[in-house]
Structure 1
Amino acid sequence: MEPVYRGLGRCVCCFWLAVAFDIVGLLVLLIGVFVNVFFYDLLIYAGAIVIFLSLIWWVFWYSGNIEVPPAELEDDVGLLKKDKGALSGIGGAVRRLSSRVSSGIRTSLRRNGAPSGTGTRAQRSAGGPPAVEQQVTVAMATMTPHEDTPHSAVSSVANCDVEMPHTTTETSPT
C-alpha cells in the first residue's frame, strides 16, 4: 500500500525552498526600492533574480506532486496492456514498422563495415573499402637566431627525396 500524502504533497523540501527564495527575494527587492542606499539598483536586480530562481523550486515541487495512474503510464513507459497482447492495433503496427526500419539501418551499417558512430557519409554510402591512412614524415632543421647561411632540408617520403627551401624568421631586438 502506498503512503497517502496530504497538505504539501511529496516534495515538501522543494516547497519550503521555493517559499524561502520568494521571501528573501521580495525582502531584497523591497530594501532596494525603499531604503536610500547608493547600490539600490543592485538590490532591485538581485531581488528579482532570486524571485526568478524560486521558480525552479516551484516547478520541482509541482512536477514532483503530479499523480498519474499506472493505467495511463502503460503506453508512455513501454509497459504493454495485459488484455490486448504485445502487438495489436495501430500502436502495434507502428512498433513493428519502427523496429524493422531501425534494425534494417543497423544491419546495413554493419554490412558496409562502418563502425558505429565513425566514418563519413561518403565512405558509408560508397560501400567500398574503408580509407587507409598514410603517415608522412617531415624533417625539421633547427636554427640559431643569427644564422645567415641558407640550408635545405631533405625529407624522404615514399622513396622520393623532397628538397625544402630554408626559411628564416625575423625577431625584433628587445
Structure 2
Amino acid sequence: MSTSVQVEPVMEKSYEGVGRCKCSFWFAVAHDILGILIMMVGVFGGLVIHDLFIYAGAIIIFLSLIWWVFWYSGNIDVPPEELEDDVGMIKLRNKGLTQTVRRMSGRLSSRIRNSFRRNDRSFREDSNRPGAEVSLSTIYDNTFASATKDIYKETLSI
C-alpha cells in the first residue's frame, strides 16, 4: 500500500515597501534629512560659523551612503541555485576543474609558506651560532663586520 505525499513548493517571503532591511533604509533617510537640515542652516542661517554647518551637513549626507549600501546589499535576491558552497552542493560539471584549481592553489601557497619558513629558520640558526658574522650599520652608513666573540666599542661624543 503506497501513500502519496504532496509537497508544496517553498515560496520566498514577499517584502513590500522598502524591502527586508527597513532599519538601514530609515537610518539612511534620517541621515539624509539631518544632513540637509544642517546644511541649510549653514547656507540660510546667517551665522558666523556657517561653513562649519555646511561641511557638517555634507559629511552627514556622505555617511548616509553607508546605510544606503547596507540597504541595497541586504535586498539583493540570489536564487538558491547560485548559493552553492564547498560543503557538498558543488555542481558536477565544475567538480573536476574546481578540484584541480584548488589543488594547484594549495600547492602554490604551501610552497610559498614553506619558503618563508625555511628562510626564517636558517636566519635564526645562523644568528645563534657562535662566531657568526653580523653586520652593524649606523645612521651614517658605516658598516662594520664583527664576530659575536669580539666586542667592539666605539666612543660617542656629543
Q: What is the deviation of 1:13?
A: 0.6
Q: What is the deviation of 1:108?
A: 5.3
What residue is the counterpart of 1:53 in the other structure?
63
What residue is the counterpart of 2:21 in the other structure?
11
Aligned residues: 130
CA root-mean-square deviation: 3.3
Q: What is the deviation of 1:66?
A: 0.9
The TM-score with structure 2 as length reference comes to: 0.64
- Which of 76, 80, 102 in structure 2 is aligned with 1:99? 102
String of CA shifts for 1:76-114, please: whole Å, max 9, x gaps.
x44324xxx3xx2xx33431321331344366579xxx3
How many percent identity over aligned positions? 42
Structure in which a larger fraction of residues adopt helix: 2
Query: Tell me, which stretches of 5 or more residues in structure 2 are unaligned?
Result: 1-9, 132-146
- Structure 1 residues 55 and 168: CA distance shift in structure 2, 3 A: closer
- Structure 1 residues 72 and 104: CA distance shift in structure 2, 3 A: closer
Q: Does 1:33 align with 2:17?
A: no
Q: Which has the larger radius of gyration?
A: 1
What residue is the counterpart of 2:127 in the other structure?
134
Q: Which amino acid aligns with 2:23?
A: C
- Structure 1 residues 119 and 21: CA distance shift in structure 2, 3 A: farther
- Structure 1 residues 61 and 108: CA distance shift in structure 2, 3 A: closer
String of CA shifts for 1:126-168, please: whole Å, max 9, x gaps.
xxx944233479xxxxxxxxxxxxxxxxxx944xxx4645614
- Structure 1 residues 106 and 19: CA distance shift in structure 2, 3 A: closer
Determine the C-alpha separation between the residues in 2 that align with 1:43 and 1:57.
Answer: 22
Query: Tell me, which stretches of 5 or more residues in structure 1 are unaligned?
Result: 124-128, 138-155
Instruction: Name which structure has the greater RCO, CA cutoff 8 Å, separation 6+.
Output: 2
What residue is the counterpart of 1:118 in the other structure?
117
